[in-house]
Amino acid sequence: MHEHLVHLAEGNTAAHKEVLRLMDQSSATAAALVDVAIRRAGDRQTRLALDAHLQDFKWSNVFPLHLQELATPIPGDPRFHEGVTLALASSPWWPPHRDALRKPTRTAAKAARKLLGDLDAIAQEAAVMVKQITEMRKLLDGTLHVLQTQALLRLELAGVTLAGAKTLEVGPQEGLLLNHLRKLGADACAVDLQPQISAPYVITGDFMHAALPGPFDVLVATAVFEEGSGWTLHLDDPRKEAALLLDRFKSLTHPGSVVVLEHVGYPVPFTTQQAAEHGFDVIPHRVPSAVAHNGARGCALRRR
């Protein structure tokens, strides 16, 4: 795809036909765009960074490149952390490119230049993310696991000063992150159905119903609001579940508060739009997402 796009950008009719042929096979389009974005586009330095990441099989599996992080060319995508391999050709970013490429060759050549520009930008963003992944690997100190480290990174990128911040961790279990938050100076407490630490600032109970001393400046949860975590809200309608959870976040925060969630194998149980309807904006930033099976998820929200 990449070569054909480059030739089409120069006005080559045969390349145009080839691009159209590839575009007619939708799975091939997705694969081809991804291939261009993360394997061929970008300058030499970008290529080197991405190649090193993609060849580091263990880590590129743990940290695949996700759509939400590649935010400049694909702004405001309503989905969280869909793997680039699944997402590019189904993202709202693609249809205008696709339609423009179907125009006569002269117009399509212009569209190809624009598409190549976007793919370069995606590659560059992916390279920035890879740099962050490398930095983050140094932070994994054997006590905090990947999701907890990601949560801290997401808080930092959201501009949160933890020292003195009134913080609630949901589901701390044995309390590693909670202890770390307190070490960083946060005024942190926690709620867990079955905590494995005992401290005056750890409340035993259900996050959805327990009396909690809010409002909090920061609310954080890793591997909690997802399948298999003990999370018990299983309503028939996922919209109702999303609304209940977001209402609960709202009742425990104030304007300006930040909510950070990190998940392992299941999506954050609401969309960016549902979050917005409940007064929370997604704070976009490039935080590498750890993954188990389905593609991992996470988000930082700021209360309006």
The minimum distance between CB 75 and ligand SAM, in angstroms, equals: 30
171: left (phi over 0), alpha (psi -120 to 50) or beta: left
The tokens describing 60, both together, are 């590129």
Nearer to ligand SAM, 131 or 145 (CB): 145
The minimum distance between CB 184 and ligand SAM, in angstroms, equals: 17
Indicate the residue whose CB is closest to ligand SAM.
171
The minimum distance between CB 177 and ligand SAM, in angstroms, equals: 6
Q: Exposed, middle or buried: residue 231 (CB in 10 Å: 0-12, 13-18, 19+)?
A: buried
Residues in the chain: 304
The minimum distance between CB 132 and ligand SAM, in angstroms, equals: 20
274: left (phi over 0), alpha (psi -120 to 50) or beta: alpha
Contact 268, 221 (CB under 8 A): no
The minimum distance between CB 188 and ligand SAM, in angstroms, equals: 13
Nearer to ligand SAM, 27 or 198 (CB): 198
Nearer to ligand SAM, 60 or 229 (CB): 229
Residues that bind ligand SAM (CB under 6 A): 147-148, 170-173, 191-194, 206-208, 222-224, 229-232
Nearer to ligand SAM, 55 or 198 (CB): 198
Nearer to ligand SAM, 93 or 249 (CB): 249
Question: Could you give the CA distance from residue 137 to residue 145 in angstroms, rounded to a whole number?
Answer: 10
Question: Could you give the CA distance from residue 295 to residue 45 in angstroms, rounded to a whole number?
Answer: 27
The tokens describing 132, both together, are 């962050």
Name the DSSP letter for residue 24: T
Nearer to ligand SAM, 147 or 252 (CB): 147
The minimum distance between CB 217 and ligand SAM, in angstroms, equals: 19
